[in-house]
Structure 1
Amino acid sequence: MGSFKEATAIEAVGDGEFTADLDAQWSVGGKLHGGYLLAVVARAAAELGEHPHLTAISGAFPTAPQPGPATVRVEFLQSSRTLTQLRARLTQNGTPCVEALVTQGVLSEDDPWWTNTQPPEMPAEQDSFRFPAQAPGNDFEIPILDVVETRVDPAAIGWATGQPARQGAISTWQRLADGSDWDPLSLLVALDPVPPVSYELGAPGWAPTLQFSAYIRRLPAPGPVRVRMSANDVTSNRMDEAAFAWDSSGRMAAQATQFAAVRLPRG
């Protein structure tokens, strides 16, 4: 099992181009995880950014890449006193796989000036259900769950016994299995948690990300993050998912919205 830093490693080629070796461990049902892919892209963009921290990223996923060699091309757009904006594209064998706009800035651990978010009420981490790589009711493996320890609020796992609550929300505790603390890049993985909300709605199965936007609000405190993901509408095999992540201090560290495909049960 490699670390997140190793799995997202890049090598500069020159003129804004980088190579990466996409790690099969960070996948769901044989498909590389969307948050992981954005983290690879964001790591490359940071090499050209004039500010140290990822603060925002918005990506589209036209083609699912395979584990193995890939190329990231980064274009500098503009820089000001407080931010740098860039465009990045991940390709494999000449095919575009991820297109992203990236904003770099400077983050702190400060409390918010104002906030309207509160971490979800849920059992303690040790009292929550450890979601396994071979999950009940799944006919495929989820290798990323061996590198991201995910514990689900027991109130949201009724689907495993054929009794989904259908509340449209799932809360989880998450840790990096290699013992690393969360940082602005790895939070992109936490904001795209497994299982997706569709499980809780009674539609288990792969829910591929089509578009994803994330905002990193502050440097997270050491320890696990608590993530609440909810959906508002599921129509025509498409769903929205909004995620918020709170660090161990109870402060919101990051948030995201994504548009995903979902395989709805017949009838």
Structure 2
Amino acid sequence: MAQASQATIGDSEFDRDTAVTRRADGVYDIDLSAGWTIINAVNGGYLLAVLGRALADHLPHPDPFTVSAHYLTASQPGPAVVRTQTVRTGRTLSTGQASLFQLDEQGNEVERIRVLASYGDLDALPDDVRTTAQPPAIPSIDQCFGPDDAPAPVPGSSAIADRLMLKLDPATLGWALGAPSGKGEMRAWFGLKDGRDADPFSLLLAVDALPPTAFELGLSGWVPTVELTVHVRCRPAPGPLRVAITTRNLAGGFLEEDAEVWDSSDRLVAQSRQLARARL
């Protein structure tokens, strides 16, 4: 049997499912795909990529540099409207805001997520890099484990897993064996299942695609995002990404998740911090 061709940036399921259609200046339509859901709720990283695509069309600069999102209500698969607004434009950076809306059962428009973001041109950045950060120590992909290795999927949670190449570090898999480490760490190799290489918009997905660190803290169930800020630092090199997420403080029913994303050239390409609600 001939091997299926690898998807490319601009021609993949991720690109089709995050594509927005301009209805008018600053107004975009999209049908949120059920393929990016976790327990029937649309994944927050996928939503960030959708709004990121709309802002890239609306603003004069192409690449997200920093994106801060507040998740107001849970998004559902189906029709949605994105409204964008320019806040400021400059020579090297432009700033805009965007909100995604859906209709509730009574036909009332409900805001699901609101974003404030600054965009620039990653290819125009200087080459100078000075960092003390180190790539995470993760075993090779063939020594890590993904959803396909589990005895049975979690009901309602497999849709997004079917679209990802996700291989978790065994050291962060205690929760899956009923023995969470209590360390609040999650590490994995990450990519899209169809082989599409990473770009700035898929980095917005990568920071929110791993199982929550709350699992390794001994908690279970949905961990809804309250706020998520992503910094895109560099256009990633081709190949799988490594994602490392840590939580140092669970208090008052909320926890933070600090994520780093590294590409195949050992470059730190994205960082994020998320505040999430823990179901105690």
Shared fold per TM-score greater than 0.5: yes
- Correspondence 1:85 to 2:95: yes
CA distance in 1, matches of 2:186, 2:224: 17
**Which of 109, 113, 123 is 2:139 aligned to?**
123
C-alpha RMSD of the superposition: 1.7
Q: Is the 1:110–1:218 Cα contact (8 Å) retained in structure 2? A: no
Match of 1:247 in 2: 263
Match of 1:31 in 2: 41
Deviation at 1:162, TM superposition (A): 1.3
Tell me which moved more, 130-139 or 43-52: 130-139
Find runs of 4+ consecutive structure 1 residues off by over 3 angstroms.
108-112, 132-140
Q: Is the 1:22–1:67 Cα contact (8 Å) retained in structure 2? A: yes
CA distance in 1, matches of 2:194, 2:153: 27
Distance 1:212 1:138, change over 3 A: same
Amino acid at match of 1:82: T
Distance 1:80 1:135, change over 3 A: farther
- Correspondence 1:219 to 2:235: yes
Amino acid at match of 2:237: A
CA distance in 2, matches of 1:136, 1:164: 19
Deviation at 1:111, TM superposition (A): 5.3
The sequence identity of aligned pairs, in percent, is: 38
Deviation at 1:148, TM superposition (A): 1.3
Match of 1:173 in 2: 189
Structure with the higher helix share, 1 or 2: 2
Amino acid at match of 1:24: A
Tell me which moved more, 66-75 or 156-165: 156-165
**Which of 118, 123, 126 is 1:103 aligned to?**
118
The number of residue pairs the alignment matches comes to: 263
Distance 1:238 1:220, change over 3 A: same
Match of 1:161 in 2: 177
Deviation at 1:194, TM superposition (A): 2.2
CA distance in 2, matches of 1:142, 1:210: 23
Deviation at 1:113, TM superposition (A): 2.1
Distance 1:19 1:74, change over 3 A: same
**Which of 39, 51, 54 is 1:41 aligned to?**
51
Partner SS, residue 185 of structure 1: helix
Match of 2:62 in 1: 52
CA distance in 2, matches of 1:111, 1:157: 37
- Correspondence 1:200 to 2:220: no
Structure 2's unaligned 5+ residue stretches are 1-11, 104-108
C-alpha deviations, 1:15-53, integer Å up to 9, x for none? 210001101110111110001101101100111111111
- What is the TM-score of this pair, normalised by structure 1? 0.94
Distance 1:50 1:231, change over 3 A: same
Q: Is the 2:62–2:119 Cα contact (8 Å) retained in structure 1? A: yes
Distance 1:32 1:185, change over 3 A: same
CA distance in 1, matches of 2:80, 2:128: 38
- What is the TM-score of this pair, normalised by structure 2? 0.89
CA distance in 1, matches of 2:271, 2:66: 10
CA distance in 1, matches of 2:21, 2:63: 19
C-alpha deviations, 1:210-231, integer Å up to 9, x for none? 1100010000000110000000
